[in-house]
Amino acid sequence: MSTAPMADTVVAPMLADPMLPRIASVRRRRRDGPQVWTLEMESESTIDRGFVPGQFNMLTVFGVGEVPISFSGDPADSQRLIHTIRAVGPVSAALAALKEGTSLGVRGPFGVGWPMSEAPGRDVVIVAGGLGLAPLRPLLYRLLAERARYGRIVLLYGTRSPEEILFRREIESWRRRLDIEIEVTVDHAVGDWRGHVGVVTTLIPRVSFDPHLALALVCGPEIMMRFAIAALRDAGIADEAIHLSMERSMKCAVGLCGHCQLGTVLVCRDGPVFRYDRVRDVLWIKEI
């Protein structure tokens, strides 16, 4: 297995005024699940030419509002902005409903991404819950494009029901590669589902990885991440080898408003990806 230094990731330069949105337009939209849509956008700005897996953009529907949405596309494809959105509030619902050709505002990219520089030569264990697979998809693209650099790659994915499984065709395509181990589970089996049933943490003991060599990356609802981290620790993975994406309560994206404060950190500025031992003390406080 190669442990040669990774190629530099192209990162878009920040604007002189990060609060000023650029204009992009919707090129395609695709439904990926109940209330979940993936938008492919294009922008003429040279700012929109790269991102680190795990980063996010602020997307604006003019006259409605702005929300943070993680990148969900391939970081090697510098010509397209791809974001996967669940319509749960007025802004996200308006984003999901945008028609092809519609203009919207884009600010970013912002935030700290997944620790790609720590992954070469190690087993990579990815634990995703629900929409949490979307911020991890760019990471999977990158890992599989440079497959020889890593040990075992494991994807554990859980959703509430089979119809909520995201990116089905890609998951099946990745399975056929035979160089990534994928396990999918649902909370409630319906229809002709014949796969695993249960929470995603029940998959961790089923897969093989070296806990002393593994890097674990977790994204999903916070309660799911708490229990996933506990299960990963029980499997022998050290706190400093576990990273999670918080993606909560972000408003300004540049650390000014303080809305996303989590203990001593600001999620938009210091995250959204954190090493677990940095947020361990506050993550288990249910009121936060």
Q: What kind and span of H or E run contains 229? A: helix 222-234
**Residues 100 and 142 grouped into a single domain:** no
pLDDT in tens, 67-120: 999 999 999 998 899 999 999 999 999 999 999 999 999 999 999 999 999 999
DSSP secondary structure, 121-147, as one string: TSEEEEEEEGGGHHHHHHHHHHHHHTG
Tokens 């999901």 belong to 96
Rounded Cα distance, 263 and 246, in Å:
13
Q: Is residue 214 part of a domain?
A: yes
**Residues 154 and 216 grouped into a single domain:** yes
**Residues 84 and 134 grouped into a single domain:** no
Q: Is residue 284 part of a domain?
A: no
In the chain, the percentage of residues whose pLDDT exceeds 70 is 93
Q: What is the mean pLDDT of residues 271-287?
A: 88
**Residues 120 and 241 grouped into a single domain:** yes
Q: What is the mean pLDDT of the chain?
A: 91
Nearest to 25 by CA among 46, 52, 45, 50: 45
Q: Indicate whether 43 pLDDT > 80.
A: yes
Rounded Cα distance, 201 and 175, in Å:
20
Q: What is the pTM of this model?
A: 0.91
Cα-Cα end-to-end distance for the chain:
42
pLDDT attached to residue 16: 62
Residue type, 76: A
The CATH number that applies at residue 175 is 3.40.50.80
**Residues 106 and 136 grouped into a single domain:** no
**Residues 177 and 236 grouped into a single domain:** yes
Task: Domain count for the chain, please give it.
Answer: 2
Q: Is residue 29 part of a domain?
A: yes
Final residue before a domain boundary, out of 110, 128, 161: 110
Highest mean pLDDT among 189-193, 258-262, 272-276: 272-276
pLDDT attached to residue 7: 39
Q: Indicate whether 2 pLDDT > 70.
A: no
How far lies 237's CA from each of 128, 158, 217, 233, 242, in Å? 17, 20, 11, 5, 7
pLDDT in tens, 175-201: 999 999 999 999 999 888 999 999 999
How far lies 59's CA from each of 66, 74, 173, 189, in Å? 5, 18, 30, 35
**Residues 136 and 239 grouped into a single domain:** yes
Range of the domain at 178: 116-245
Residue type, 127: V
Tokens of 86: 């669940």
Least confident piece of the model among 40-49, 125-134, 140-149: 40-49
The CATH number that applies at residue 94 is 2.40.30.10
